[in-house]
Structure 1
């Protein structure tokens, strides 16, 4: 689903209900570092499909599929605006890995290569006015003033939401209204 749709909340709640059997693997951990984004002229588009290390995510998914006893995955720290390497341990007790993120169903290179990893897919859909309000609030919490928060939401996040809506494969399960 789109940024602000409720994916992280849903995945976290589901993992909590499933207990030690489940762990969340967030796509956001694979954000490129801000210095790399700056060098590539992509800093203003952070969060767009081209601003992630998809190959790194594929390597970690392959390791999980190979049943390695422990796979360390990165986690995005929104407060610091950066990914923390090896911040989450996925150990042998985790039989269910809930991978969540915007572009997991995106039907374009290199994202389409992820499809073979999914046993079940869920698309979380939220109306754009609700997304806009959530995204503006997300930026306000990060100490942006209202004008800057609205500009970030409209200029980047909602652009990314429209990419998700237009270019994602059909999910096994569609959810709305989160």
Structure 2
């Protein structure tokens, strides 16, 4: 009986230790990495958007794989189409870039975060609309707003016509919340 009681207490102590210290460690290192944190925080701050949102986009887009390239040709951590990256660079008064430049983590984060900030401004800081535009394109979101009479307060993710975009928006917002839980909201 004594051994059973000791074993039970040991399991309770180990379980408590895991949930307090182990689970966040595992989550941070495997499920929700935060590579390039200093760059993400600095660029997010410059563009007046939460770093947790940028981290969530990167996790959804590339799982932090720097060499990520989609079948459609999107490049880098934030999966930027070269045409979009060139347009962003032009808006930022930066020189024309090669695909290698676009894939470079610091550059990709800078361009992608600027674009996300641009979309947040365009859609009145509505994360659902901005993320839908990041995934499906501004033109689609603008046409949905017109067709379905969505306003800048739209938040019904289930009403987004593209299943992939619905899932994308849900995932990024879930990831953003988890990043805030693990790393704090003020980063």
By the TM > 0.5 criterion, same fold? Answer: no
Q: Flag the structure with larger Rg.
A: 2
Q: Point out the structure with the larger helix share.
A: 2
Structure 1 length-normalised TM: 0.29
Q: Point out the structure with the larger strand share.
A: 1
Structure 2 length-normalised TM: 0.28
